[in-house]
Amino acid sequence: MNPTPHFIGGRWTAGNGPVFASTNPVDGQPIWQGAAADSGTVDAAVEAARQAFPAWAALPVEARAERLRAFARALEADATKLGHLISLEVGKPRWESATEVKSMIGKCELTISAYARRCSEFSGSGAVTRFRPHGVVAVLGPFNFPGHLANGHIMPALLAGNTVIFKPSDKAPLVAERTVQLWEESGLPSGVLNLLQGAAEPARALAAHDGVDGVFFTGSSRAGIALNEAAARTPGKILALEMGGNNPLVVHDPGDLTAAAFLAAQSAFITSGQRCTCARRLYVTAATPPSFLEKLTAITGALRVGAPEDDPEPFAGPLISAEAASAFLQKQEELRAAGAGKLLEGRSLRAGSGLVSPAIWDVTELSGLPDEETFGPLLQVVRVETLEDAIRAANDTDYGLAAGIITRDRKAYETFRNSARAGIINWNQQLTGASGAAPFGGIGLSGNHRPSAYFAADYCSYPVASLEAETPEVPAALPPGVTLY
């Protein structure tokens, strides 16, 4: 039991809300427990952030950048421990947790570069444009990248001069706690970064709070839509949403079938399918040899799934909980009942655990399948005749985060790139691959046109345009009807 789970105004404080716990997704054992933030705790965090804002915003950007660099140095020194906590709390294999920490470290210089490029003062036609922070922003983080994705909002928000209230997923409070401790070690002034723990209630209270000027969210479309609805009457509150996707991957005349099958398996099943960019729908054209699906099934069936500490190390770990594993298996049963063809059946690998094996089902003959994101290792295959058929089917979704094509035909890629409706479109790369030096976001139910990563600088501040003169002057030509005395 953590008696002081919240960090407010530079102090670790107690909570007064309901007690909740995070559990190890491999065995279901509790690993962290604390009392959630209630409305009074939320108010205290907002007040601390508001009090800290003027002095933080007044610092030169170089001074704020040095705090980011100090945090990156703290991350480097703590990389092994933080990686272990990520594996412990969300079940990622050690190799993947280490990669996440490296991404957090690399985000520092990328954030500084992005701000300099996108938010530097500039002049034109007599006007000067400068950028100003919003004020107090809430960062609502997900469980699947509990360090990296939350940090992808926190760093640019702080660099721009905002103060931050971080509300992580209730499934990853331990990783959030350690991350904030590292920020504390970096020398941030009191109140500049605050931490509130809990489930949905603190998030709702933050989003609706009059003292919060912005909400940066990563999570489900359902939650994002609720945030959007809540903000409808407060257009001055900046809202940045990243909400996942029902992502298509097309295979068309791929050439090397083994490479194509590997990329498809990696796209669908990395992180046990718990990435918002994972491939959910696979469209295979008639220009792809039938043996492609045989290779894909063989490679997928051989993927090692296990606990992070297993030796040899697994490719993928568990789903976030036993409940998530049950939902995955239930979805598979729904496809079976609807008449889908089994290429590879997913199964539970340990009772009471999030450990499941990946599944591939042929849904070519089915119609009316729900347009939804199944957050797990489930790939639905559709066989189509032409590239045009594949593009039309790929775009048949209300989401629009990621889309990809595996083909040796450049013209086919260019056709796909110009037609696919998504914010991320990859060619002969895993669908889950993304660069921190590029925008990351989608359209439709996947986002609200505020991509993160390199473009996070855009929503962490706002432009102020000024027409300026050293002294007031009378113009050489007066407008009609004016007489000066």
Catalytic residues: 242, 276
- Helical residues (DSSP H) of 275-366, grouped into ranges: 291-301, 322-338
Rounded Cα distance between 282 and 268, Å, is 9
Rounded Cα distance between 482 and 475, Å, is 12
Is there a contact between 403 and 248 (Cβ–Cβ < 8 Å)? yes
What secondary structure does DSSP assign to 81-121, as a single string?
A: HHHHHHHHHH---HHHHHHHHHHHHHHHHHHHHHHHHHSS-
Rounded Cα distance between 239 and 243, Å, is 12
Rounded Cα distance between 89 and 93, Å, is 11
Rounded Cα distance between 401 and 423, Å, is 5
Is there a contact between 438 and 426 (Cβ–Cβ < 8 Å)? no
**3-state DSSP call for residue 52?**
helix
Please, what is the angle between helix 221-230 and helix 200-208, to 10°? 30
Residue/partner pairs of 442-445 with CB below 8 Å, 24 or more apart: 442/242, 442/243, 442/245, 442/399, 442/400, 442/401, 442/402, 443/400, 444/397, 444/398, 444/399, 444/400, 445/221, 445/224, 445/225, 445/243, 445/245, 445/398, 445/399, 445/400
Phi then psi for 322, rounded to 5 degrees?
-65, -35
Handedness of CA 359, 363, 368, 372 (dihedral sign): positive
CA dihedral 472, 474, 480, 483 (to 10 degrees): 110
